[in-house]
Every structure is written in C-alpha cells, then in structure tokens.
Amino acid sequence: MRVSTLLPLVAAAPALALPSLFKPFTPPTEIATQAFDTAVSWVHSALSGAQNKWDDLETSISGDLSVAKVQMNGIEYLSLTHPAFPLHRLRVVKPELCDPNVNQLSGYLDISESKHLFFWFQESRHKPSEDPVMLWLNGGPGCSSTTGLLFELGGCNIADKGANVTYNEHSWNSVANVLYLDQPVGVGYSYSDSGEVNNSPAAAEDVYAFLSLFFSQYKEYAKQDFHISGESYAGTYIPNIASVIYKNSLALQSNLAPTPKLPVINLKSLLIGDGLTDPYNQFGSVPDWACDKTKSPYAVYSDPEGAECVSLRAKAARCQALVSSCYKTGSRFSCVPANLYCFSGVFGDLQQLGYNVYDVRKKCDRSEDKDGPLCYKEMGWMETYLNTPEVKAELGAPDHITFQSCNMNINRNFLLQGDGMHDAASLLPALIEDGIRVLIYAGEADMLVNFLGCEAVLDNLKTSYSGAFAKASKKDFVTTEGDVAGWTRDAGNVAFVAFHDAGHMVPHDDPVAALTMVKRWLKEKPLAK
C-alpha cells in the first residue's frame, strides 16, 4: 500500500486517468417494459425455488421477449432480452452457498455491450414479502460490495483463511432483503470489455440502470420500501445515486419520463457509515479528532499544542482552502490537487504512527504475511474464496475474472478525476426536504473518516431541520442486549449515531449494535433507547 495518497478503504498511486466511455442509461421503451411484465410471474417462480433451477423455463413467450437458458464460460444462466432494449440483458443464477436457507440470486446485469455489473441478492430471513429492500455499497473507490457481504453484514462470514464461510447471526438480511452490487465496472466480479468509469455521477447512472431493470423483473420488491446503505467512499456514491433515483422518480410520477411504465423506486432513506461526503468539513475535523481528548476518546497525540498538532492544523487549513476551490469550480484542475494534498498532507504523519487507520485500537503490519496491505487479513481470505472455481461457477462469475477485494486502477482513476473532493452533501437537502430520511453513523476509533467529521456533515446541512439538529442533545444508544454502545442525535429526517467500540467498519466491529441501529431505523423507531 502506498501511504502517500490514502483514500477511504484503500490507497492509490498517481497515473493517467481514463475518460468515461459510457453514455447515460437510456430507459427501455414502453413495449419492452410490457414485455418484461409478461415474464414476471415466471421469473418469480424461479426465485421461489423449483426443484431444478430452471424447471419452469419457457423458451418462447408471446411477444418479442426472449427468455432462454444461455451457456457462457461454462455457466448456465437465465437470460432475459428484448429487441427494444438491445444493450441490456439480465443473466441470473441461483446460488445456494453462504446463506442456503434463504432465496438468493446472483449474476450480471449487462448494461451495454461492454459493461457487466455483478450483483448478489439475499432475501430476508424472516418476512421477505414485507421487509424492505436495501442496497449495500462498499467504498474505496474500487472496493467490492461482496467483501461487505462476507466480512461485515452478509449472511455469512469468511473463515479458515478463505477455505470456508460461517453463519452470521447478525446479518442485515435478518431485517431486510439485501442487494450487494459490485460497482463501478471493474470492481470485484464486475467487468468491462472496453473501459472503466472514473466518477460518481457516471457510476450513479449505471446503478440506476441496474435498479430499474432489477425491479422491472422482480416487481414484488419494487412495491416495498427501498433504502441505500454503504460505507467509506459510498458516502460519495450514495448521494449521487439517490439524487438520480429521486429525479427520475419525479419524472415518472409527473408522466414526464420517456418510459412512464418503469417502476418508481420507493426510496425511503440513506444510511451512510464512516462516509466521505463533505470533505471540507470532514478534513477540517482531523486535528480535533487526533489532538483533543475532550472531543475524541481515541486522540493519538497527547499534547494538543505540540508540534505535531500545530502542523496538522496548518495542513488541514491548507486542505480546506483547496477543497473550497474545488467546491466553487467543480473543475478537475482544482479538485485533483485537493484530493492529492488532503490525503497525503493531512494523513501523511498520522499514517507513520503504525496504527490501523481504520481502527486505531489496533496496530497494522502491512506485510503480506501479517495484516496485509489493507490491515485486515480477511481481505486476502476473501480473494482466496471468491477465486475458487467452484465458488465462481456457483455465483455465475466467469472463470477468467480475477476477484480483487479492491481494484487499485479504479481507485487511481477516481483519484485523478478529483471525484472525492466534490460536495456530495449538497445533494442531500432536496431529498431530506421531500421526506427521504438520512442517517449518518461512524465508529469513534476510525482515523481515516472520523466520527467528528461525519457528525459535522449533518451539522452543516442547510435544511428545515438544521436548527432543531443543532439543539439536539446526545442520547445514549443502547443495544437490544442492554449495552450502551454509543450515542445519537436526531431531528426530523436526519440522525447521527457514534459507536464507542468500532472503527471504519461498524457492522464488523460491533455487529450487535449495528443491527440494532438498522432494525430501529428501518421501522422508523427512535434510535435512542
């Protein structure tokens, strides 16, 4: 890992960035949508579980819809295509690993001739027909959401150096139908034949394309509440994705969309964990987190007026000046210098302290035979497991794809577009004012995207709830087991939770508390108990 330009969850090295080669998603025509509807009941029967995966297959259906078994790379998929929707195809298999007692889908959405997004869907363990649908995204940029499934909140946990998985009793599919999406293309099992995405707005269009087609196929889920969740660089992804969904939903509801029969995605809330959303205020918080023990229980410097802290304040101020320029212009020429300086300048000395920057309660030896480049041996275990030929075949991933927990080329491309220095938080007020709730949460031991900065994202949002949130007092956050796991503040449609015993990856570090939070949030119950 090159520590000079660390980004959330991964580091990147400077290189030439590739321009985006992809056009925005074009919705299918009404004819295609109606044709897809013809196959919904059949597709649902496949999901519900015939004895043989494709026992109910019909190779010819009225209309122009083509529903067939296809063989690609030695894998049999269910394929749905339509001539009015020529660049899009859904290829699905039904895996039975990880959490075999629930219905699962995995495979690809081919959203052009060259882009293929991998997804893995796990139904709720309890009430799949009633529980909401949740999309989970990991960050990076360039880190696979499949790692979130196997390491944090999915139906199973990676184990035995990648030779096995174990049941996760605290999985978030205890309360929701969870959809994990490897995006943008090039991340995890997702792949592209001719180029890569290098910015969050373009990635958001691809995610909207995926969701539109997924809910077109599985309309029973389209009727349920939908929530977007994720961590780290997903703090940038999520506002962009939510904004695209919101704008398209308004157009659909106003009969202004070119394809009025597309499903309206029932977006209800956003859950952002330790996310990079407002870099100006978040980088500005680093000196307080690192130097002031009255504000941060995990401050790494003992003397707030010492040379290290004086230097850190100066670097944070310089970073904020550069970010401010990026906010004003949105230009790559101002945003890239901000991106490079803020991560290298502000975190340069902090990284040399030897801590795990994602959880300073731990040290980190980045050698391959110790903690590994990302400070977690399990990242390598997941690569071992997910590159096993049998696992690939079960999930519908081509054998020629090499799974990486984090793709450094994607990381570099986003870095050198200055993408992470844009004000993603500015996209949130319109959503909040129209009833979409926003929860930001963070682990207090996270150095890289610290909890003070995450709280500051909400403190600086300009909404009708701003005054009430500023006056909101901290209340204990108590788990279902009766433990005080942190504290929370809330007002109207916005809320914040800080976790005492967690770092960057809260569902991994404190799974009981994380699941408690999700249960209450999805049911719109008070977070403080």
Kindly report, residue by residue over 61-81, the tens digit of the pLDDT: 334 446 778 888 889 988 876
Instruction: Give yes or no for a contact between 272 and 238, defined as CB atoms under 8 angstroms apart.
Output: yes
Beta bridge partners of 165: 158
Q: What is the CATH architecture of 1-529?
A: 3-Layer(aba) Sandwich (3.40)
pLDDT at 81: 63
Instruction: Give yes or no for a contact between 526 and 251, defined as CB atoms under 8 angstroms apart.
Output: no
Instruction: Give yes or no for a contact between 185 and 192, defined as CB atoms under 8 angstroms apart.
Output: yes
> Is position 116 annotated as part of the catalytic site?
no
pLDDT at 40: 36
Catalytic residue among 110, 278, 288, 446: 446
Three-state DSSP state, 176: coil
Which helix (H) or strand (E) covers residue 202, if one does?
Answer: helix 200-217
Kindly report, residue by residue over 127-159, the tens digit of the pLDDT: 999 999 999 999 888 899 999 999 999 999 999
Mean pLDDT of the chain: 86
* Rounded CA separation 275/449 (Å): 7
Q: Which residues of the chain have pLDDT under 50?
A: 1-65, 84
pTM for the model = 0.88
> Is position 501 annotated as part of the catalytic site?
no
In the structure encoding, which two tokens stand for residue 317, read together?
Answer: 């101020």
pLDDT at 390: 95
pLDDT at 219: 79
Phi, psi at 148, each rounded to 5°: -65, -35
* Rounded CA separation 88/25 (Å): 10
Kindly report, residue by residue over 171-210, the tens digit of the pLDDT: 999 999 999 999 998 999 999 887 778 899 989 988 988 8
> Is position 232 annotated as part of the catalytic site?
yes
Kindly report, residue by residue over 384-428, the tens digit of the pLDDT: 999 999 999 999 999 999 999 999 889 999 999 999 999 999 999
* Count of CB atoms situated within 10 Å of the CB of 294: 8
Instruction: Give yes or no for a contact between 165 and 211, defined as CB atoms under 8 angstroms apart.
Output: no
pLDDT at 31: 31
* Rounded CA separation 343/449 (Å): 11
pLDDT at 109: 86
Which helix (H) or strand (E) covers residue 394, if one does?
Answer: helix 389-395
* Count of CB atoms situated within 10 Å of the CB of 426: 15
In the structure encoding, which two tokens stand for residue 377, read together?
Answer: 């041996």
pLDDT at 68: 76
Kindly report, residue by residue over 432-447, the tens digit of the pLDDT: 999 999 999 999 999 9
Catalytic residue among 216, 232, 296, 344: 232
pLDDT at 63: 40
Instruction: Give yes or no for a contact between 297 and 500, defined as CB atoms under 8 angstroms apart.
Output: yes
